[in-house]
Each structure stands twice: as C-alpha cells, then as structure tokens.
Amino acid sequence: MSSMKKLNILMVNLPYSGHTNPTLPLTKALVERGHSVTYINAEAFRTPIENTGAKFVPYEKNYPENPTENQKKRMSFRAAFDTALSVGERENFDLLVYEMFFHPGIEVAKRLNIPCVRQFSQPAWSEATWSKAPKMFRLSAWLIDRQVLSKDDIRHMGISGRSSLREGVIHAHPELNVVYLPEQFQAERDSFDDSFIFTVPQPEMTSSDVIIPYNEMKKPIVYISLGSIISNKGFCKECMRAFGNRELSVILSTGKVRPDSLGKIPPNIYAYSFVPQIEVLRHADVFLTHCGMNSVNEALRLGVPMVAMPFINDQVSNAARLTELGMARRVRSFPSSGKQLYRTVRTVAADSGMKAKADEMRRMIENQPGIGSVIERMEQISDKR
C-alpha cells in the first residue's frame, strides 16, 4: 500500500437495509486497504457503517433521526443528494460510490467533477431485463417513483430527463458497476458490457447469543425465514402445523413475532426471533426464503437449494431466476397451504439434481472475482483523473 495512492472516497446511500448492507463488505475492504471512506446515510446506519472503519456522516437538512416509513420515502433522496453535495464541496474526494436505488448519485459526481462507481444490491437492469421483467416488478418501480421523488425534488436535482428508476438506472453509465450476485445468476448477461463486474462478497458470521442444537436434529434440516421485514404470526403457526412432528427438523426465524406467543411448539421445530443466518445455512438442507438478494446470495454461496416464496420487487424475479436455473421450486406467497409447503420442501430435499446444481453454483462463485478485484478497478478509474 505504501507505493499506492490512498484514495479519499465518498459513499452515499439510502436508509434501507437491503440497499446498504450489501455495500458494507466493500466499504470495510477499502478501509483495510488504506483508503479513506466517508459514508453518508441515515442515523440508523451509524453503527454498522462505523464498524467497517469508515467515517459516518448523517443526512443534513433537518432529516429526522427516527423517521417514519413515509418520511423515509419522501425525504431520503433529497437529503442524501444535498448532503453528498455539501460534504463533497467542503472536502476533496477522488471518487464517489453510490448504490443503484439512489440513481441521482451520478449527477452528484458530475457536479463534484469526480468519477463514480455504482453498486447493485440486486440483479443489474438493462433494456433487455426490463422488457422481460414481471409486470409486478415494473408496477412496483412505477409506484416507488411516485413516492420518493416529487416534481420539486426532480427540478432541485436537475434530473428531469431521467427521474424515473427505469431511466435513472438503465441509462446511467458510470465507469464501473459492481453487481453483488454471481455472474451466472444475472439474467440477460450479454446485455451488460465490461463495465459490469459480478462478485459475491464472503459473508461474515454474525455474532449471536442463540445456541442452536444442530446435533439433536433429525435430517433433513429445513431453514425458514422471510427476512427482517416480513413477520406474520399466522404463517409461523401454519409452518408449525405443516412441519410439526414430522421426520425432519425446522429452524424457524420468527422475526418480530415472539416465539413464546405461538403456543406449544412441536419438538422438531426450533423457533427463534433471530438466528445467525450464515451459521444456520451451513447446516441446512433446504432454505424456504422470500428471495431477498442478500439471502439468496448467502444460500448460493453455501450451496443450499431453496423453496422460493417471493412477495415484492426483485424477490419475484429472483425466484423466477432460481427456478429457471434449477436451484429452487416456487410456492405461492401466504396465505399459503401448509400441505403445499411441506410437499415442496420434501421434494427439494430429495432432489439430488437440484443439490448438484446448487453445489455447482457454489463452486462458480468461489472462482469469480473477489472484492480485491473490484478495488483494483476502482483504483484504476481514479488514476485516470
């Protein structure tokens, strides 16, 4: 590192876990390589960002410390934009890094006259992927547009010609685009040029006080989690009815639902409000998932076949891609039939071909570029200045 120019990097993101958490491994790796990173986000993300070694800067301009969901949607884009400009004008940065959802990031870089890098927390978008995307996905993007950017925001940011997610994401062309998924998972891969690099960061084990008795469990072990946002007592009880007292074991992540509120839990079901997901996936034979990209990546990296139960946004297209690649079977989102869940889980657990495809994807991921390759590309972009 002594002979290498140390970069001063500005990162900016929106206050959503699914768009922030995937960017933290790169943040940490940049700091460990000796670069300086200033990361702009909402106050709620101070601790995880500071844990990477980056300097955390909260949104300015009277952004609430504890915003409601509606305030997040209405205020975060402009707060991120204004704060990035303000910080960038006070200090000299070599590079701006932004996540795809915050598509006005490229405009910030232009105003600061520095190159930029874009991160994708989900599959990358192109005209080819958009034309084949499920109608629900395109409708969701349209609804998000109406919620997050007012006409006044659009004028303020100077993005009138590309204010929609579709225009802002598909037609922006940073010099480097980092996509956090396996290259083989990306639909319409040929529609992306060499400025797109695909990588799945090595996941870090989450520290936890939860002790899960894997040695006591009957095989197959089924892990059920619908992510940190979706918590439904009815679904938890349906899983207990469907899988309880069967010749298998279930690790059930209940989220905001307290396990002690579920009544008597069958002895083969191990219910926790939080589980260390990487640890659990290392033991699981099947993963029933909502198909958020982070969860999908972790399962793919560990070679775990899935039962896909998507709800919104990219979850739907992720589920479709998993089934297309032969690494998952899809079930209907709840209200779900417990019988269907049980039959599908049993089918996946018994399918050696599906397991073989999951293991093949795991090996491919291990042979793809790591975060180090991404950082080298970032350093090359900065050297061109």
**Domains of the chain (ranges plus CATH)?**
8-199+369-383 (3.40.50.2000), 214-366 (3.40.50.2000)
Q: Which two tokens stand for residue 55?
A: 């300097």
Confidence (pLDDT) at 314: 81
pLDDT of residue 263: 92
Strand bridging mode 249-253 / 221-225: parallel
Give the chain's residues under pLDDT 50.
1-2
Q: What pTM does this model have?
A: 0.87
Rounded Cα–Cα distance for residues 214 and 250 (Å) = 10
What pLDDT sits at residue 337?
Answer: 81
DSSP string across 91-142: S--SEEEEETTSTTHHHHHHHHT--EEEEESS----HHHHHHS-HHHHHHHH
Note the pLDDT of residue 281. Answer: 96
The values of phi and psi at residue 225, to 5°, are -150, 130
Q: Are 60 and 79 in contact (CB under 8 A)?
A: yes
Q: Among 113, 93, 110, 99, which Cα is nearest to 35's?
A: 93
Task: Of 233, 310, 338, 311, give the one whose Cα is nearest residue 328.
Answer: 310
Structure confidence at residue 1 (pLDDT) = 43
